[in-house]
C-alpha cells in the first residue's frame, strides 16, 4: 500500500510539474504575443506620425506659397502705382522745365 501511495504521489508531482510547465509555456506565448502586438502598435503609430508630419509640412508649404503670392501681388501693385505716379510727376516736371527755359529765353 505504501508503494501505491508513493506511486500516486509521484504521479501527482508529475502532473503538477506538467501543469507548471504548461503554465510557463502559456505565459511565454502570451508575452511573445503581447510584444508582437506592441511592436505592431508602435509601427502603426510611427506610420501615422509620419503621415501627419507630411500633411502638416504640405499644408505649411501651401500656406507659405499663398502668402508669397499675396505679398508679390501687393508689391507689384504698389510698384505699378508708384511708377504711374512718377510718370505723371515726370510729365509735370518736364512741362515746368520747358516753361522756365522758354520764359528765360524769351526775356
Tens-place pLDDT, residues 10-47: 999 999 999 999 999 999 999 999 999 999 999 999 99
Higher pLDDT, 5 or 7: 7
> What was the pLDDT predicted at 39?
98
Residue with grid cell 501511495, as numbered in its chain: 5
Q: Report the alpha-carbon distance of residue 88 to residue 92 in Å, rounded.
A: 6
pLDDT over 90 at 54, yes or no: yes
Q: What global pTM score does this model have?
A: 0.54
> What was the pLDDT predicted at 82?
86
Q: Report the alpha-carbon distance of residue 42 to residue 3 in Å, rounded.
A: 58
What is the grid cell recorded at 35? 510584444
pLDDT over 70 at 104, yes or no: no
Q: Report the alpha-carbon distance of residue 53 to residue 87 in Å, rounded.
A: 50
Amino acid at each position: 500500500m505504501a508503494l501505491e501511495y508513493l506511486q500516486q504521489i509521484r504521479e501527482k508531482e508529475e502532473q503538477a510539474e506538467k501543469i507548471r510547465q504548461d503554465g510557463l509555456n502559456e505565459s511565454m506565448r502570451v508575452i511573445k504575443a503581447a510584444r508582437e502586438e506592441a511592436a505592431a502598435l508602435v509601427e502603426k503609430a510611427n506610420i501615422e506620425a509620419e503621415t501627419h508630419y507630411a500633411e502638416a509640412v504640405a499644408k505649411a508649404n501651401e500656406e507659405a506659397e499663398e502668402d508669397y503670392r499675396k505679398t508679390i501681388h501687393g508689391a507689384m501693385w504698389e510698384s505699378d502705382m508708384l511708377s504711374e505716379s512718377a510718370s505723371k510727376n515726370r510729365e509735370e516736371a518736364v512741362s515746368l522745365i520747358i516753361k522756365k527755359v522758354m520764359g528765360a529765353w524769351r526775356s
